């Protein structure tokens, strides 16, 4: 993709060029992390899986789970999903 110059609207909105949206498969449901590094604004796509894990973390913190307990639970869920999706063990 070639470099493009963009101009924000009065509300600070910038349109992501169609070529970039298509290449990254960005949809209206896509979510981003936004950070500033020096003079750069960085938008990083967040996968649906990352969003689910974030919700697990919030729930685990609210219930007082330790990091190890959360990791064990996530591993159990991962194994169950792999078995259901691929109908086999990933061992």
Same domain? For 3 and 25 the reply is yes
Same domain? For 40 and 2 the reply is yes
Domain harbouring 33, CATH code: 2.10.260
Same domain? For 30 and 66 the reply is no
H/E run at residue 76: helix 67-86
Give 2-14 pLDDT, tens digit per residue.
788 999 999 999 9
Range of the domain at 25: 1-45
User: In Å, how far are 42, 72, 85 from 80, measured between CA atoms?
Assistant: 35, 12, 9
* Per-residue confidence (pLDDT) for residue 88, from 0 to 100: 62
Q: Encoding tokens for residue 44?
A: 């990083």
Residue 29 within any structural domain of the chain: yes
Distance (Å, rounded) from C-alpha 64 to C-alpha 57? 10
Same domain? For 58 and 39 the reply is no
Residue 91 within any structural domain of the chain: no
Reference 30, options 13, 48, 16, 17; nearest CA is 48
Reference 67, options 59, 57, 81; nearest CA is 57
Number of domains in the chain: 2
Same domain? For 54 and 80 the reply is yes
Same domain? For 60 and 77 the reply is yes
- Mean pLDDT for the stretch of residues 74-89: 83
Same domain? For 57 and 79 the reply is yes
pLDDT tier for residue 53 given thresholds of 50, 70 and 90: confident
């Amino acid at each position: 993709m070639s470099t493009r110059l963009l101009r924000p609207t009065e509300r600070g909105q910038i349109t992501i060029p169609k070529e970039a949206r298509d290449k990254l498969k960005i949809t209206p449901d896509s979510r981003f992390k936004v950070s500033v590094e020096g003079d750069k604004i960085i938008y990083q796509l967040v996968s649906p899986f990352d969003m689910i894990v974030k919700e697990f973390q919030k729930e685990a913190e609210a219930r007082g789970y330790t990091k190890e307990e959360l990791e064990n639970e996530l591993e159990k869920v991962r194994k169950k999903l792999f078995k259901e999706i691929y109908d086999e063990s990933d061992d």
